[in-house]
């Protein structure tokens, strides 16, 4: 057993017991596959600012930040205050309410292409509704997505998600239901267009993350996303940008503003709800109106997209409004987290180079991720075939010996609660880990 | 314009303005189709106990209760206290945590068939995962559901939901993807078995609500659910009970205990999260283990069901624990709400009979619903072809002139915050409305 694993186990005795209980109620002891890691995950007791504290009293600087949703850190004061006030006067009205209109108007103001929107409760729902709207609008069936692209667990888009990408995503998904999804190689415009060309007559939409998140923090090469968009426009297919991770993270106006894109539809989640459950499908008024139950009373005329019991619930609305209003009045948030992100990417790359640990550090703005054994990373395949074992060792070692938390194997994100001292600590820890030789 | 519509509009001037703003951001002004009603919905400002207060200061006794999720009423003290404490120390850990284990252990204790479970964020996700697990377990493709059965907005189960049931649920759903769903007529065992018989070799599961909720509060006739279950057992198909509405509402042990059913899998939601976003798929250990990412590391061996960013978040866990612990230590909740439900069903039936308004009142326990123009209600078709216009008039009139809120056209639910005086008021209001003659 490696030293850092022993060290982790010594520090996390209560978590070990809790994990053992957890395996008796949840398959694998988790409610989200990526939350398991070896030897067992630690159990969080509380979270505040940049810190996670576990049940054994260990405190970690958190770079996972609630699946990257917590741009202001854990329980930031404006959000906590809004929740404290709302919790006493209703958590689920089950009806229309003013704060949902305010939040939507704010999103409309901040995101240039959000003519209209629908709130759902999760991102998996929002992407499912986006492609349903695209099929309704175009009368076509085929959806194109990126290899490794992650749009949640909905049946339609649960394809080519995990390596090896050419194989199906496991039992329970019916091939006949998946026949209308085609996958394209991220960052290879020529090859992507070739695929799209073969399905052009029946192509309802391309749905794509501007930066591949779950697949490993892969930024788009110049012209790639624009090339896809151009093909879509010419072909009468919708271009859908999945901004569930990047929306309000890379910029308050979304990745669309950074990469100068004009998606027909786009999806939001995570930050939009201030860390509380939300999904949003937004975009062109005419397309969104296909879901209007008032003007389209017969079901044959209406695209049946949902909201769900918890849609527009006042707790999420309160947290989302508090977060977006804070971001809007404090543009310094983005300059700070982007600066920290840049420092950490440069610092890590320098340390790995000096330590002769082959590693490409990808990312943009406040998100970043190292890829061991790689000099270049262009697509999900590059990430999947990198030295994942080294990445897991690196992350677990940070956790066990340096009180720094990344979800093992996943990209990290800066929040407004982080500062320069955190970057220094992360770099110093990385240097030590490199010196220990475990990454070679 | 009817008097009650004029009266409603006079009392809701601010809501009217807000609704007008809302139509500029949301298609139809809503984020859930059923939340629109004519002339426009009122906007909730706050909710406490049994009361909803709108932005114009009107206060309504609420029988919609957050899509029937709020069994203890709006913001009950134990739940509000739990949320107040949790909001300050983390809203989204994004990792495993003790309260999620506690909530799961409590569900395991209360629900006899919950060997293992997975938490998701919505009911739509939970039912989608349940049928995916059934397909993985059986290696078969076909899913049977009830005509009018409501299992959320996921693509797979979004079929035969709205009248006329034989037509597709609108543009955007691809027929080729829906070919593996068959629908059966609720409460007609012979006809249902006949359908199942034709697809028996490829039948993965039957998924069914024990009491049809969205379709109109339709209770099962003796032997119907048992007959379906028996067919499934014999046929090697899974029997899945969708208890998102009924779980913890009809009994703390679920409708399964009332109707003496032994589902292979079942789903929970709503009450299980104390009114905060949750979905749960639970059941047989061996089936649930198909989703275990620890023992099934390769994707070809694992049924890919999700959790999602917000799964097992500590706010939902806190609200769910507070609610279920309260229900467990106060069995009087069920005797009270069931008694109120029974009183209102009897009282309404008597009034409609005496007023010679043909109307069947359905329901069980704390849920109830009138069906105008009907003497008997057995299935979704009976509800869909009842006098819906009368029901809408009845509900809007209650809202406009008696400060009583039902979501127009939907079933009502008692909460622990209601009492006998509410029943009296509802019955007195109903009597007046009958006398006015608008229901004839």
Q: What is the ipTM of this complex?
A: 0.98
Between vectors from CA A280 to CA A278 and to CA A286, what angle results, nearest 5°?
160
Q: Which of A303, A329, A355 is the last residue of a domain?
A: A329
Residue B195's pLDDT is what?
98
Q: What is the pLDDT of residue B1?
A: 83
* Residue B43 and residue B151 in one domain: no
Nearest to A338 by CA among A218, A418, A426, A408: A418
Q: How many angstroms separate the CA of residue A151 from the nearest CA in chain B?
A: 11
Look at residue B177 and tell me whether its pLDDT is greater than 90. no
Residues of A in contact with B89 (CB under 8 A): 46-48, 75
What's the pLDDT score for residue A271? 98
- As a whole number, mean pLDDT of residues B386-398 equals 97
Inter-chain contact B125–A124, Cβ cutoff 8 Å?
A: yes
| CATH code of A57's domain | 3.90.1150.10
A42 and A122 part of one domain: no
Residue A440 has pLDDT above 90, yes or no: no
Shortest CB distance from B47 goes to which of A52, A90, A301?
A90
* CB pair distance less than 8 Å for B306 and A152: yes
Which of B329, B346, B371 is where one domain is finished?
A: B329
pLDDT value, residue A125: 97
* Residue B176: predicted pLDDT: 81
Output the DSSP codes for B188-238.
-HHHHHHHHHHTGGGEEEEEE-SSB-TTT-BPPPTTHHHHHHHHHHHHT-E
The stretch B98-110 carries a mean pLDDT of 98
Per DSSP, the residues of A299-331 read GGGS------TTTT-HHHHHHHHHHHHHHHH-T
Which residues of A are less than 8 Å from B311 in CB distance?
31-32
Closest CA to B366 of B385, B340, B405, B389: B340
**Chain B residue closest in CA terms to A62:** B93
Contact residues on chain B for A67, CB-CB shorter than 8 A: 92, 94, 309
Residue B359 clears pLDDT 90, i.e. is over it: yes
Give A152's contacts in chain B (Cβ within 8 Å). 306, 308
Residue A160: give its domain's CATH number.
3.40.640.10
What is the average per-residue pLDDT within B127-144? 98
How far is B354 from chain A, CA to nearest CA, in Å?
34
For residue A89, give how far its alpha carbon lies from the nearest alpha carbon of chain B (Å).
Answer: 5
Q: Which residues of A touch B94 (CB under 8 A)?
A: 35, 64-67, 69, 407
Contacts of A104 in chain B (CB under 8 A): 22, 25-26
Q: Do B44 and A153 touch (CB under 8 A)?
A: no
Report whether pLDDT(B411) > 90: yes
pLDDT at A237: 98
Average pLDDT on B14-36 reads 97
| pLDDT at residue B153, as a whole number | 94
pLDDT for B412 equals 98
pLDDT tier for residue B265 given thresholds of 50, 70 and 90: very high
Same domain, B122 and B194: yes
Are residues A246 and A281 both part of a single domain?
yes
What pLDDT was estimated at residue B13?
98
The arithmetic mean of pLDDT across residues A400-406, rounded, is: 97
Given a cut of 90, whether residue B175 has pLDDT beyond it is: no
User: Is the predicted pLDDT of residue A101 greater than 90, yes or no?
Assistant: yes
Phi and psi at B371, nearest 5°, equal -125, 100
Q: Return the residue in A21, A43, A52, A91 with the most chain B beta carbons within 10 A, the one to mutate for interface testing.
A: A91
Same-domain check for residues B44 and B185? no
Has residue B350 got a pLDDT over 90? yes
Set of chain A residues whose Cβ sits within 8 Å of the Cβ of B291: 27-28
- Chain A interface, best mutation among B170, B202, B272, B322, by max A CB count within 10 A: B170
For the cut 90, the answer to whether the pLDDT of residue A422 exceeds it is: yes
Smallest CA–CA distance from A136 into chain B, residue: B172
d(CA B64, nearest CA chain A) in Å: 8
pLDDT > 90? residue A1: no
- Over range A251-268, report the average pLDDT: 98
* Residue numbers in A near B409 (CB within 8 A): none
Q: Which residues of A touch B135 (CB under 8 A)?
A: 171-174
- Work out the pLDDT band at A374, boundaries 50, 70, 90: very high
Closest-CA distance of chain B to residue A158, Å: 8
**Do residues A290 and A379 both lie within one domain?**
no
Q: Rounded CA gap, B283 and A436, in Å?
A: 46
B286 → chain A, closest CA residue: A27
Q: What is the pLDDT of residue B440?
A: 82
**Which tokens in the block code for residue B435?**
């006398």
Q: How far apart are CA A386 and CA A367, in angstroms?
A: 19
Percent of chain A with pLDDT over 70: 100
Query: What letters, b where the CB count within 10 A reaches 16 and e where it falls short, cover A337-353?
Result: bbebbbbbbebbbebbe
Chain A contacts of B31, Cβ < 8 Å?
96, 100, 118-120, 307, 311-312
Whether B55 and B82 share a structural domain: no
**pLDDT at B178 (0 to 100):** 83
Degrees to nearest 5, angle at CA B274 with B272 and B275? 105
Binary contact (A170, B304; C-beta < 8 A): yes
pLDDT exceeds 90 at position B377:
yes
What number is the average pLDDT over the span A60-81? 98
What integer is the mean pLDDT of B203-225? 98
Q: Which residues contact A293 (CB under 8 A, 6 or more apart)?
A: A302, B27, B28, B30, B33, B36
- Which chain A residue has the Cα nearest residue B106? A25
> Using a CB-CB distance cutoff of 8 angstroms, which residues of chain B are in contact with residue A240?
none
Q: For testing the chain A interface, which of B16, B18, B30 should be mutated: the one with the most A CBs within 10 Å?
A: B30
Sheet order of strands, B412-413 included: B359-364, B367-372, B412-413
Element (H, E) at B47: strand B44-48
Of B329, B352, B369, which residue constitutes the final position of a domain? B329
Q: What value does the mean pLDDT take over residues B340-365?
A: 98
- Average pLDDT along chain B: 97
Indicate whether B240 and B377 sit together in one domain: no
Distance from CA of B257 to the nearest CA of A (A): 20
Flag whether pLDDT at A69 surpasses 90: yes
If asked whether residues A63 and A25 sit together in one domain, one would say: yes
Nearest to A27 among B75, B94, B292 (CB): B292
Chain B residues in contact with A295 (beta carbon < 8 A)? 28
pLDDT at A215 over 90: yes
How many other C-beta atoms can be found within 10 angstroms of the C-beta atom of residue B8? 23
State residue B271's pLDDT score: 98
Min distance A349 CA to chain B CA atoms (Å): 27
How many residue contacts between A and B have a Cβ separation below 8 Å? Answer: 443
Same domain as A138, residue A274: yes
Span B397-413, mean pLDDT?
A: 97
Domain range enclosing B10: 3-75+333-436
The pLDDT tens digits for A265-275 are 999 999 999 99
Do A148 and A380 form a contact (C-beta atoms < 8 A)? yes
**Structural domain count, chain B:** 2
Element (H, E) at A85: helix A77-87
Using 50, 70 and 90 to split pLDDT, how confident is the model at B59? very high
Whether B89 and A18 lie within 8 Å, measured CB to CB:
no
Residue B125 has pLDDT above 90, yes or no: yes
| CA angle centred on B84, ends B75 and B272, rounded to 5° | 55
Question: Based on the domain organization, do A296 and A318 belong to the same domain?
Answer: yes
Average pLDDT rounded to a whole number, residues B105-118: 97
A53, A54, A60, A64: CA torsion to nearest 10: -100
By Cβ distance, the residue of B66, B152, B155 closest to A93 is: B66
For residue B193, name the pLDDT band (cuts at 50, 70, 90). Answer: very high
Answer whether residue B68 shows pLDDT above 90.
yes
Whether residues B394 and B258 fall in one domain: no
C-alpha distances (whole Å) from B63 to each of A311, B50, B254, B415 are 19, 8, 21, 8
């Amino acid at each position: 057993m490696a030293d850092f694993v022993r060290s982790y186990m010594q520090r996390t005795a209560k978590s070990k017991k809790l994990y053992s209980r957890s395996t008796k109620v949840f398959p694998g002891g988790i409610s989200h596959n990526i939350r398991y890691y070896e030897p067992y995950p630690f159990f969080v007791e509380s979270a505040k600012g940049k810190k996670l504290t576990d049940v054994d009293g260990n405190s970690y600087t958190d770079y996972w930040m609630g699946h990257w949703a917590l741009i202001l850190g854990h329980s930031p004061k404006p959000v906590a205050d809004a929740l404290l006030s709302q919790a006493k006067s209703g958590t689920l009205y089950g009806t229309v309410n003013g704060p949902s209109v305010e939040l939507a108007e704010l999103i409309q103001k901040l995101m240039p292409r959000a003519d209209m929107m629908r709130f759902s409760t999760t991102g998996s729902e929002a992407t499912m509704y986006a492609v349903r709207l695209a099929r309704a609008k175009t009368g076509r069936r085929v959806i194109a997505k990126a290899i490794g692209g992650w749009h949640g667990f909905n049946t339609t888009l649960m394809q080519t998600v995990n390596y090896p990408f050419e194989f199906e995503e496991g039992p329970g998904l019916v091939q006949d239901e998946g026949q209308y999804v085609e996958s394209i190689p991220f960052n290879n415009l020529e090859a992507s267009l070739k695929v799209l060309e073969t399905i052009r007559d029946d192509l309802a939409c391309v749905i794509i993350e501007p930066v591949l998140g779950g697949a490993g923090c892969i930024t788009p090469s110049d012209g790639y996303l624009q090339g896809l968009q151009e093909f879509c426009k010419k072909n009468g297919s919708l271009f859908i940008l999945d901004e569930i991770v990047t929306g309000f993270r890379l910029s308050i106006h979304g990745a669309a503003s950074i990469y100068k894109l004009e998606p027909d539809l786009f999806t939001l989640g995570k930050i939009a709800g201030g860390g509380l459950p939300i999904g949003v499908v937004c975009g062109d008024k005419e397309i969104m109106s296909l879901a209007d139950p008032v003007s389209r009373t017969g079901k044959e005329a209406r695209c049946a997209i949902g909201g769900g019991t918890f849609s527009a619930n006042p707790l999420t609305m309160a947290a989302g409004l508090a977060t977006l209003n804070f971001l809007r009045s404090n543009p310094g948030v983005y300059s700070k987290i982007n600066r920290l992100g840049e420092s950490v990417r440069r610092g890590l790359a320098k340390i790995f180079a000096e330590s002769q640990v082959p590693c490409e550090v990808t990312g943009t703005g406040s998100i970043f991720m190292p890829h061991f054994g790689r000099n270049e990373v262009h697509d999900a395949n590059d990430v999947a075939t990198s030295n994942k074992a080294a990445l897991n060792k690196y992350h677990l070692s940070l956790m066990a010996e340096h009180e720094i938390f990344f979800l093992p194997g996943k990209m990290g994100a800066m929040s407004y609660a982080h500062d320069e001292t955190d970057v220094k600590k992360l770099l110093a820890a990385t240097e030590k880990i490199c010196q220990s030789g475990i990454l070679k």
